[in-house]
Amino acid sequence: MRRLAMLCAAIPRPATRPVAVRRLVLPGAALLIAALPACGAAPPVEVLGAYRLDDGQVVSVRRSSDDTLRYRLFGSGRSGRLYPDGEARYTSGPGFSARQPVQLVVEFERADRAAADALEWAPADGEPQHGRRIGRERWVRFESDGTRLSGRLHLPDGPGPHPGIVLVHGSGTSAGSEWLYNGDFMVAHGIAVLAFDKRGTGGSEGDYTFDFYQLAGDVVAAVDFLRVQPEVMSDRMGVSGYSQGAWVTPLAASMSKHVQCVLVSYGMIESPAEEAWLEMRNILVDHGVAGSDLRDAEKLVRVAVDVVAHWFDGGWETFAALKRQYKDAGWVEHLRDTPVGGLMRYPKWLVKLFGRGKLPPGLRWDYDSTALLDSLDVPMAWFLAADDRGAPNEQTIAKLQRWKAQGKPYELIVFPNTDHGIVEFHEEDGKRIYTGYAPEYHRAEVAAARRLLRMEEPQNGPDPALDPAAALEEQSTPAAGVQR
């Protein structure tokens, strides 16, 4: 599920009434937002999964917001929200999230409380199709550092054994076992997948944390659990991380001798503190701030991030001086809904009183993967968005290109005109309108997983649905197309 970067104030104003709080989507400038209550009951988990349509297309159906689902079509990038319209009937409108006018009707076939084994797919612009469930899923539990974690093991059709991949979550609190979808496409191409709920979320025990070392240890435990399953090849194991998972997966690979490859999607190498600074800088640039004004704003943002990164225990004297100097600058208004805005509005005592409890628990703001990736030799494939607002990646791309040139086993694919999640967009009145996933992304991810896990091609030849040559085509400039 695509998770939009949501920038908000790190510094809370005192609440006049009780509010529910949701933690950030990304551990950068966004720290906390007030969450609206759910609009309806969550869809039954029994309908979640991967289905193969009559024409061979693979469709993934996973959780979306509130009582809705999201479908994603492998190879085309098409995706939309599915809104409930009956016990087992859902409808979807045009574009990425619209409800009306209805352009697709999906009805799941399930007996009593059993998992749906099929669906009926009826698009307004095409012929109705039948879809059969792909693979077999079962709920599992395993232990990490004394904590019981819960997950979903998704096995391909056929006896196996199969290569395995552990999916590594982003920074949110949603259950990875129900939200992570990329594994559906891997299972459809012969890879066993374990998607688990990070500690403190979903069905997993423990405290929710941003401690990358703790999270990496949990991933290692997941790998150890997956590799001993009878349907899985113990010597063909990989990990695939998304967003925050870009920090966690290489660290997990460094802690386990059983990880043969790492896949990373829409993440960063630089620290969370650097991410926060870059996110806020991009906000200023998007509003046309430039020249000396931009340089002044960058100084203020740097110091503000330093105050937050020190858990509000340092950097105040320097920030107070810059606050006095720039409090009337016109560009300050553009930072109103960021940590800088909060620090500009509220006094130090109030920030220290309320702010600490709202910071991401366990986060090491200065954690940077550069030294680790410089020393690792585990094969990796990185999939990045060229215009990622949630995880600004210019420095990450430059480092990966340098390591590639030095001969390290790292691959890099940058998808043009995409934002966080590898989602394509166009702009209307200065706002990004999201239209679907880059068609090459899912093909490239699956093709890389199969190659790095040393999977043999089917006896009847390469799977044309993967089309790795087209998916990984290298162009001279990002604007021209997919860049590898």
pLDDT digits (tens, 9 = 90+) for 411-451: 999 999 999 999 999 999 889 999 999 999 999 999 999 99
Q: Which residues pair with 428 in a beta bridge?
A: 431
What's the rounded Cα separation, in Å, for the pair 451 and 435? 29
More confident residue, 479 or 439: 439
What's the rounded Cα separation, in Å, for the pair 474 and 484? 5
* Residue whose tokens read 């999640």: 421
C-alpha Rg value of the chain to the nearest Å: 23
Instruction: Indicate whether 452 pLDDT > 70.
Output: yes
Alpha helices in 61-174 (DSSP H): none
Q: What is the mean pLDDT of the chain?
A: 88
Confidence at 463, pLDDT banded by 50, 70, 90? low
Q: Let me know if 209 is exposed, middle or buried by CB neighbors in 10 A (0-12, 13-18, 19+).
A: middle
Instruction: Indicate whether 112 pLDDT > 90.
Output: no
pLDDT of residue 400: 98
Contacts of 469 (CB under 8 A, 6+ apart): none
pLDDT of residue 468: 45
Integer angstrom CA distances of residue 139 from 149, 154, 218, 400, 409: 11, 9, 17, 36, 34
Low-confidence winner among 18-27, 209-218, 422-431 (lowest mean pLDDT): 18-27
What's the rounded Cα separation, in Å, for the pair 392 and 400? 14
pLDDT of residue 246: 98
Contacts of 253 (CB under 8 A, 6+ apart): 239, 259, 262, 376, 378
Confidence at 110, pLDDT banded by 50, 70, 90? confident
Cis amide linkage into residue 37, ω under 30° from 0:
no
- Axis crossing angle, helix 291-309 with helix 272-286, rounded to the nearest 10: 150
Instruction: Indicate whether 8 pLDDT > 50.
Output: no
pLDDT of residue 458: 63
What's the rounded Cα separation, in Å, for the pair 254 and 270? 17
Average pLDDT of span 257-279? 97
pLDDT of residue 100: 96
Average pLDDT of span 55-79? 94
Contact criterion met (CB below 8 Å) for 26 and 96: no
pLDDT of residue 45: 86
Average pLDDT of span 355-375? 94
What's the rounded Cα separation, in Å, for the pair 264 and 244? 10
- Listed by start position, the domains of the chain span 45-133, 136-270+368-480
pLDDT in tens, 145-179: 999 999 999 999 998 899 999 999 999 899 999 99
Maximum Cα interatomic distance, the chain, rounded to a whole number of Å: 71
Topology of domain 136-270+368-480, CATH: Rossmann fold (3.40.50)
Q: Which of 169, 187, 189 is nearest to 178 (CA)?
A: 169
Integer angstrom CA distances of residue 420 from 133, 246, 386, 417: 29, 13, 9, 11
Rounded to the nearest 5 percent, the helix, strand and coil shares of the chain are 30, 25, 45
What CATH code would you report for 45-133? 2.40.128.50
What's the rounded Cα separation, in Å, for the pair 437 and 266? 12
pLDDT of residue 163: 98
Q: Let me know if 425 is exposed, middle or buried by CB neighbors in 10 A (0-12, 13-18, 19+).
A: middle
Confidence at 280, pLDDT banded by 50, 70, 90? very high
* Residue whose tokens read 């395995």: 164
Q: Is 391 helix (H, G, I), strand (E, B) or coil?
A: coil
Q: Is 106 helix (H, G, I), strand (E, B) or coil?
A: strand
More confident residue, 413 or 13: 413
- Axis crossing angle, helix 245-255 with helix 212-227, rounded to the nearest 10: 60
Q: What is the pTM of this model?
A: 0.88
pLDDT of residue 348: 93
- What are the backbone angles phi and psi of residue 473, rounded to the nearest 5°? -60, 130
| Neighbour tally for 479: CB within 10 Å | 10
pLDDT of residue 470: 46
| Neighbour tally for 317: CB within 10 Å | 8
Residue type for 313, please? D
Q: Is 53 helix (H, G, I), strand (E, B) or coil?
A: strand
pLDDT of residue 360: 92
Query: Could you give the percent of the chain with pLDDT greater than 90?
Result: 80
What's the rounded Cα separation, in Å, for the pair 220 and 262? 13
pLDDT of residue 184: 97
DSSP 349: H
Residue type for 303, please? V
List of long-range contacts for 321-326, beta carbons under 8 Å, 24+ apart:
326/296, 326/297, 326/300
Low-confidence winner among 4-18, 89-103, 246-260 (lowest mean pLDDT): 4-18
For the chain, the residue count is 484
